[in-house]
Amino acid sequence: MRLPEPFGRHIWKKKKRGSAPLIATESTMKARVHVMLKDGVLDPQGEAVRHALGGLGFDGVEKVRQGKVIELDLADGTSEDTVREMCEKLLANTVIESYQIELS
């Protein structure tokens, strides 16, 4: 069930028989993007979760908002501006959604 990983495959192809184990010189960076509905935009999914939690006997749940989180493995050196452009163009609908970027 595991997806083939381009990074791993690449290293495997470069390894020569009998040579010492390759140390990966090509590193990756990770970005995590949170996409949430803006305040004031109705969130039926979050409302459904709040209602269901109440039905299960969890008291004190006052508000629930549900959003998306997208984890990206990027080539090293990718700038935050590039990730921001990905958000603006594809990952978030900026009319109703806001996004936060975490790089690591």
- List beta partners, residue 30: 73
| Nearest CB to a copy of itself, comparing residues 20 and 85 | 85
- The count of other CB atoms within 10 Å of the CB of residue 91 is 20
CB of 93 to a copy of itself, least distance (A): 14
CB of 17 to a copy of itself, least distance (A): 26
Footprint of a copy of itself (CB under 8 A) = 1-3, 5-7, 28, 34, 36, 39-43, 46-47, 49, 52-53, 56, 58-75, 78, 82, 85-86, 89-91
The DSSP bridge pattern shows strands 28-37 and 97-103 to be antiparallel
- The count of other CB atoms within 10 Å of the CB of residue 101 is 17
| Nearest CB to a copy of itself, comparing residues 19 and 27 | 27
- Give the separation between CA 48 and CA 18, rounded to whole angstroms: 59
